[in-house]
Homo-oligomer: A and B are copies of this chain.
Amino acid sequence: MTTSQSPKPPSPRTRVRRLHEKAAYDAATIAAILDAMPLAHVGHLVGGAPVVTPTLQWRIGARVFWHGSAASRMMKAAAGAQVCLTVTCVDGMVLARSGLEHSVNYRSVMVFGEAEAVTGAEAKEAALKAMMEQLFPGRWAALRPMTAQELKATAILSLPLTEASAKIAAGPPTDPPEDVGWPVWAGELPMATAVLPPVAAPDLAPDLADPPPYLSAFRWGERR
């Protein structure tokens, strides 16, 4: 039994984990992960039970935003309520000599807080424009402008990044010394999202067929 008089030294297991995975709380690390990965999973309560909804997030300064139909159950349930928004980029599988040491290399951010609704047509449009500009810079100005009705039908929520943390796991497997000699392949199987050639809409006018340059610049999950 461990007592407070004889603190246990860090176990080999703890040491190993700490080499592979690290937490971060600085704004730059958190922003880089959020900016790299638009896909978020937002958790909120519906009738007292957790619901996790996939959605796209985008960042403006020290806040993160997401949107949906103003009629959606999720957007209604989340407004003004405590939520958790999580973003995860998977960078690879880590194959070790034991099952236990297998893991995933990833970058992840969790943001906690009370979701705040963006209100007013002007503020909503500015937020949506910022989303588009982050995904496809320059596209917003070329689109058919939003109508007042469309802005009304769109709900936008946001969270400050005050209660946010990142977790990053990277590198090769960290088997304890006694396992390293086990006769099995070990290493990392890296993964990355490939953005494939754009596919024009079937009803696209032939004179518009040239893909705009922001399509080839688009990235998803890439380390920044």
A residues with a Cβ closer than 8 A to B are 13, 39, 41-45, 49-54, 56, 82-86, 88, 90, 92-93, 95, 97-100, 102, 104, 106, 108, 110, 112, 128, 132, 135-136, 139-140, 142-144, 146, 150, 153-154, 172-173, 175, 179-205, 208-212, 215, 218, 220
Contacts and interface: CB of A to CB of B under 8 A. Distances in A.
Contact of A52 (B42, B92, B220): B42
B144 A97 contact: yes
Given A179-B144, A201-B186, A52 B43 contact: yes
Contacts of A42: 52
Q: How many copies does the complex hold?
A: 2
A132 B84 contact: no
Contacts of A181: 205
Contacts of A153: 13, 100
A41 B86 contact: yes
Given A98-B143, A191-B196, 8 more contacts: A44-B50, A49-B82, A97-B144, A186-B200, A186-B201, A191-B193, A191-B195, A192-B196
